[in-house]
Structure 1
Amino acid sequence: MAHHHDNDKEINYVGDSRVIEKKEKMVPKDYSEFPGKTEAFFPNFLLKEWMVAVVVLVGFMALVMTEEPPIGEQADPTNTGFLPVPDWYFLFLYELLKFKWASGPFVVIGTAIVPMLAFGALFLVPWLDTGKERRPMKRPITTGIMFLALIGTVALTWVAWDEHEKQLASLPKGEAEAKIVDQRDPAYDIYKNNACVNCHGQNLEGLQGPPLRGVGDYYKPKEIMKIMDEGKGNMPAGMFQGTALEKKQLADWLSKQKTGRKITEEQ
């Protein structure tokens, strides 16, 4: 045994050969005496994780390339019958924010407190579960948190999708797809520049008066012109202020607004 003069460290020699014994080894420890208990993180454990990640990634990419993604209807600000719904993996959050205790005056609970509790529980798992057991039944805290999160996510997703399907089924036929027909027609400008827009809306969506989308399913041009002259329901006579030609153009254009459904007599 001797001391190195440069760094004043103790040096162990092998016999009298004056060869410095190297104590630091780059080879990971041998855990063969403890089978199934533990292993070296690098490279043993990390290599296994990388291999699994590569297999999952390749499978996911193959699925993405072979299956065409379901793209919804093209965005249209004039379609008031459209029911927005997020992607399936956000449906549980979408449904969560519908509850009274997580929206409105309690929106902070749904947007901050509940996610904080969920992510906080996930963050505290290493400190809550300090046992050496790896069997799920021997780890009640971790297993319980996992099952609660899984059951809650699946249940909220199912409720959200079921409610969306019921909303679609309750809409009159064609209402969800109703769009303004031929917006480039000059009659649309006649409509927007007249008093009609105050009651029926800029996009025929209906404000104080009934919506005009689909009005062509029920009325013909002559009947529409008669309503303009004589009024109907809460609409007084003589509301249209324009020439006879403009009136005919507007009536013809409104008769094109069809959705395949029938408007009730009250409308």
Structure 2
Amino acid sequence: MSQSATANGPARPSLAARIGRTLLNFWGIALILVLWEALVVLNDFNVIVMPRPWAVFADIWANPGLYLQNFMQTAWVAMSGLVLGMIAGTTIAVLAWSSRILNGLLTPIGLIFSSIPVVAMIPVLARMLGYGTETVLAIVAILSFFPFFVFTGSGLKLLPAGSADLFSVFGAKKHQRLFHLALPSALPNWTVALRLASANAILGAMVAEFLMGTSGLGQMLHAASQAFNTERALGASVCATIGSVTLFVLVVSLEARVRERWT
């Protein structure tokens, strides 16, 4: 048996081994669900106050189209805002790196702009852009802007030892330093910014949708809360959490590959 397994390649792990490995990877989630169930049962909470976990997942299972439609709306806005924030933050960081005058002008503005609470910006942006998807898009872009601005700016200055002198000896121009030295050196930091921003993109979009009652999971959460439909409200939150964690895991995988290549 062992010779046959060796001839055909390594033996595949048994079903029990795969289940055990999965439980080890996700034991934290299982523990939360068990504690949630125990809390509801022991305190005999009304379903309006706190439903049982299986009731929340049963509502998702019974209404897949409703959840999927709202999730796709929120995910599209979140990803679009993430891309806009990424472009704006990276571009302004490069401009600040390219000139001391621009650095003195753009860096304080970026820091002040990013320190304003997003909740305080929503009424102003809503009056400027309207109570629609555009405002939610702007909120996510603002949330995503700061990590890219800070980490890209710091990464552009983290040059390999002696590399700046080498480029000076060969008479490299500013744009050559940027594309062949500074940007490659900043790439690991840029992926850190992507990881931080991606973790908040979907949740940020959902919060903005909830406060403005526009569309997507946030509007779904708002409507369910108004109707005291706690299962659906928690179902919307569960979908947003799953989407955020999935996006975060994908970006972490990308970050690991970039660090293997560039560091």
Query: Structure 1 length as normaliser, TM-score?
Result: 0.22
Query: Structure 2 length as normaliser, TM-score?
Result: 0.22
Of structures 1 and 2, the one scoring higher in RCO (CA 8 A, sep 6+) is 2
Per residue, is there more helix in 1 or in 2?
2
